[in-house]
Each structure stands twice: as structure tokens, then as C-alpha cells.
Structure 1
Amino acid sequence: MTRSLAYFTDVALRRHEGSVTTREGDVTVVRSPQNPTFWWGNFLLMPAPPVPGDLARWEALFARHHPGAAHRAFGVDTGGADAGDAAPFVDAGYHVLRDTVLTAERTHPPRRVTTDATFRPLLSDADWAGALTLRMAVNAADPDGHEESGYAEFSRRKLASYRRAQEAGHGAYFGAFDDGAVLSGLGIFDAGEGVARYQSVETHPDARSRGLAGTLVHTAGGWAREHLGARTLVIVADPEYHAQALYERVGFTPTEVQLGFQKRPATD
């Protein structure tokens, strides 16, 4: 049983997207053959924070389960921020990730509700192509963004996974449309046990400060309660980014910390 609410939902959503999850003792292995460069689709979930001497063992396990992977990613099945003996990981080039896990029973409209856009799930091939255009624009505007061609391939595969999950009835990927363009987007999917998890909240750099993301989060939350039977809505945010405050303004409350260790590929 996964103790971390964030990883409980992550693992459930990876399954909906076509990933393979297995257990080896107390370790959860997540593989995404449909998207091999998706770091957090190809990771190991530790049962507890690392203790002295753990680095070599975990790196060997990762190499065995993900041969050829250029990245390293370890989740920690805890709801707290204590990273244990993290120093050897940091010294080896890992970043310690501590994201905020926020929950709500229901959302409420943001102070600024956008009325000059249409909010709905993606339907057509053109809609999904618009979502890819949005993702590439967001990446291009990010000073820490990824190399364009590699990110385009990752994004095509990721959106295809969302589309398969949507078509199978597990949730939906929503867009905020203005004159046919997707200016903001997010996914929301059923994780089981009355829990729904948001994914990939993004807004085009030229369309920010219009209230699109807040309105979209609220719209998708209502949809999930009606169509997925969701009683708990879960969203994860970088605590150093403004999105957490946006989510709190529509009804979310910090509940846990999602702890992980990530090492980017050397060529990224």
C-alpha cells in the first residue's frame, strides 16, 4: 500500500497511460515503454528515505530495472519532507525535490473568472495538436527548458498517453480555447478510491494573467466530481513557483510533501 498520496496517484495514472508497474520486495518499479524519456514515467519508488550507504544499492537497482536510461529518478513513499541521508545523492549530482501536495474536496471559482474563452476537454486531432503547440511554447519560454526536438518527441508521446487514458474513460485533458487556439491546458484523471489527480497545468506565455489556469482548474474539478465520482482532488506544485498560490485561491490546501531524487541526463 502506497503511503504517499502523491505517489499513489502518480502510479495509478501511469497505469492508465500504459505504463507497467511491478513490485520487488518493498520497491515499486515504474516503466513507461511508450515514453522511455519520461523521467517520472521510469523511476523507482523507495519505501523510505535513504540511509547511509544506500546510494550505490539504489543506483544499481535503477540500472538493472531501467538499462540504458540516461536519467535517474527515485521517489520516496512518505508524506514528509525528511530526505534522510541525502548528502551522497546531492554529491553525486542529484536534486532533492520537495513538491507541495495540495488537496480539496471541491474547488471554487477564482477571483477572476475568465469568460472570453471556452473550457472543455480536447476532442479532435486539431485540439490535441493545439495542446502540443502549447507545450512547446511553454518550454521555449522557460530558461530551464529542454532541448526542442527531444522535448517535442516526449510531449507527443505524453499527450498520446493522456488521449488513450481519456478515451478509455479514466479522465480528461482540458483546454482553454480562444479563437481555436489552446491557451491553457491540464489533465485530470481517476486514481481510484474517490481520488482524482491533476496533471500538467500549463498556460501559454502570451496568455498569462487572464485567469485561464484558475478557471480551468475549477472547471476540471467540477467535472471530476460529476463524471469520475471524485471526493478528493489532488494537485502537486513546486513551492517556489507561483502556481501553488493559484491553487490555494481556488480551494486547495497543502497536505503533504512529495519527496524525490532526480538526476538529469548529462547531455540534457
Structure 2
Amino acid sequence: MHVSSLGFRTDLALLTSSGSVVEDRGTHLVVRSPDNPSYFWGNFLLLARPPVPGGEREVVGAFHTEFPLAEHVSIGIDTADLTDEARAAFEAAGLTVDVATVLTASSLEPAREVEAEVRALDGDDDWEARARLSQQLYPQTSEDAFMTFARQKNAQERRLVDAGRGTRFGAYVDGTLVSTAGIFVTEEGVARYQSVETHPDHRRRGLAAAVVHAAGEHGLDRLGVRTLVIVADTDGEAIGIYRKLGFADVERQLMMEQRSGEWATLDG
């Protein structure tokens, strides 16, 4: 199956480079991350096109067949075009439909000065702090379950770091990691951002812009990248930060989810 979406294409490149497995079924891809089964967008179906009318519940059933133990459903479609009827049918099947925005930049506008140390993560303590920061953003989920997920996510990214494909930057205030963003090469000349996160107590201080800028400059200057790719919630606050840094909208990315158990309270 040919994937045309830049968002999904870069997603898949990073997943396969960090240990995930992609099975091509012709009409759709099955993406698995065996080491991290609770990673929603590491275990999902990617459809080449929307199902025929009335086939939405069949698609959800196909997910459960492929992932019988999953406490979530994640389905992407390699097109942002979804009729109102299809959207309503997926929502009736229990899914939340989200159309994110994919943005790109070939250079970045300067970020404002911040009262923080901005640098690449270095060593186990930094990466554990990154997992802890993520966990603090989602306190509704049990600490044990979330930290298992976050540490496995770290392990995937660190494999990319070890392969020389990029790194993760953090902003440290009084020695504490409070904002972070990763950048990794997906194909020649292209790099994709991963998981821009900022502690709620440190937002609106320019820290997210600072780490995104630092990661992007690293990609452009050190990794030989010509195009930076980032994905944002279309109606979220972060997209405004990215646009101010010089990113421009290029496409929409269609993603649908259903969460159950303690993960049902997880936002984002």
C-alpha cells in the first residue's frame, strides 16, 4: 500500500526504525509495537481510503481482530476527506474523529529568550525525567501504567538517537525538565518532530517555542535536513506557536480513537 500522507509517512518511518512492525494487507496497513502495546499510535490500522458506506463498524471489528487485547482503538485514513455521513458512522461506532494539521518549514524564525537551560537530553536521568514529565501531564491514568508506556516510548526514541537519526531537547528550569521536543530524520532531507510537551505550570513562557526551535536548528545544521515536519491539533494552542516559528500548513491528517479502562481519561 502506498502512503501519500506526509504525516503518516513520517510516522511510519520512525516507528519501523525504532522497532515497530508494519504488515501490508493491500487495502490497509497493520502497525504493531510489540514492546509497547498501550501506545495508541504505535498499534493501529491505516486505511488507504475510507470504507464503503456502512463499513465503519466492520473496520472497528477488524481492529479488534488484529489487537484482541488492546484497551484502545486507533484507526488512521490516508486521506483527510471524510464525508459527514462517514464521520457520524465512526462516531456512532464509538470513535472520536480528529483531523490534525501537518506543517513544514525549511528555516525557522528566532525564538524569544527564555529563562531556562535548553539542551539535548543526555543520559538515563534526563530520559527518566522526560518520562516523569509526560506522566505529570496525564495524572488521571495510574502512575504504574503510564510510566510503563512512557519508558517504552523512551526506549524507542533512544534507539533512534543511538542510530544517529536525531535527539530530544529539553528546557530545564532550576535543573528540572519542564518542556521537551524530539526531532528525528525519517528520510533523506526530512525530519519529524515528536511529542512536544510542557508542564502546565511553565506554559506561556516561550519554553515550547525554545525547544522546538533548538530541535529544528539541530536538524537543519547537524542532520542535513531540508524539511522539518510537525503535526498539531488544528484547534489547539500549539499550532500558533509553530506558525510563529515559520511553519506553514501543508495537509490534514485523519486519526480516530476509542479508549477504554483507565486510558479513557487520557487526553492528547
TM-score norm. by structure 1 comes to 0.91
Corresponding letter in the other structure for 2:236: Y
Structure 1: runs of 5 or more not aligned? none
Question: Are 1:29 and 1:45, in contact at CA under 8 Å, matched by a contact in 2?
Answer: yes
2:223 alignment partner in structure 1: 228
Corresponding letter in the other structure for 2:103: L
1:212 alignment partner in structure 2: 207
Counterpart Cα distance in 2 of 1:189 and 1:80: 28
Counterpart Cα distance in 2 of 1:30 and 1:79: 19
Task: Write the deviation string for residues 97-126 of structure 1: whole angstroms up to 9, x where unpaired.
Answer: 11111111111113x222x32222211111
Question: Are 2:192 and 2:230, in contact at CA under 8 Å, matched by a contact in 1?
Answer: yes
Counterpart Cα distance in 1 of 2:79 and 2:146: 30
Counterpart Cα distance in 2 of 1:226 and 1:202: 23
Question: Are 2:101 and 2:232, in contact at CA under 8 Å, matched by a contact in 1?
Answer: yes
How much has 1:138 moved relative to structure 2? 2.1
How much has 1:11 moved relative to structure 2? 0.6
How much has 1:36 moved relative to structure 2? 0.3
Corresponding letter in the other structure for 1:70: E
How much has 1:54 moved relative to structure 2? 1.4
RMSD: 1.7
2:100 alignment partner in structure 1: 99
1:7 alignment partner in structure 2: 8
Task: For residue 86 of structure 1, give the secondary structure of its aligned residue in structure 2.
Answer: helix
2:116 alignment partner in structure 1: 117
Question: Are 2:171 and 2:177, in contact at CA under 8 Å, matched by a contact in 1?
Answer: yes
Residue 108 in 1 paired to residue 103 in 2? no
Counterpart Cα distance in 2 of 1:56 and 1:189: 35
- The aligned runs of 1:1-150 (5 Å cut-off) are 1-80=2-81, 85-110=86-111, 112-114=112-114, 116-140=115-139, 145-150=140-145
How much has 1:178 moved relative to structure 2? 2.7
Question: Are 1:174 and 1:216, in contact at CA under 8 Å, matched by a contact in 2?
Answer: yes
How much has 1:211 moved relative to structure 2? 1.0
Runs of 4+ displaced beyond 4 Å: 79-84
Task: For residue 138 of structure 2, give the secondary structure of its aligned residue in structure 1.
Answer: helix
Bigger mean CA deviation after superposition, 92-101 or 117-126: 117-126
Counterpart Cα distance in 1 of 2:214 and 2:81: 30
Question: Are 2:46 and 2:75, in contact at CA under 8 Å, matched by a contact in 1?
Answer: yes
How much has 1:185 moved relative to structure 2? 0.5
Compared with structure 1, are the counterparts of its residues 158 and 67 closer, same or farther at alpha carbon in structure 2 (3 Å cutoff)? same
Task: For residue 248 of structure 1, give the secondary structure of its aligned residue in structure 2.
Answer: helix
Counterpart Cα distance in 1 of 2:152 and 2:88: 34
Bigger mean CA deviation after superposition, 30-39 or 122-131: 122-131
Task: Write the deviation string for residues 55-109 of structure 1: whole angstroms up to 9, x where unpaired.
Answer: 2431232123222112111111125565762222111210011111111111111
Task: For residue 85 of structure 1, give the secondary structure of its aligned residue in structure 2.
Answer: helix
Counterpart Cα distance in 2 of 1:8 and 1:200: 17
Task: For residue 37 of structure 1, give the secondary structure of its aligned residue in structure 2.
Answer: coil
Percent identity between matched residues is: 44
- The aligned runs of 1:135-214 (5 Å cut-off) are 135-140=134-139, 145-214=140-209
TM-score norm. by structure 2 comes to 0.91
Question: Are 1:50 and 1:86, in contact at CA under 8 Å, matched by a contact in 2?
Answer: no
Structure 2: runs of 5 or more not aligned? none
How much has 1:238 moved relative to structure 2? 0.9
Corresponding letter in the other structure for 2:92: D
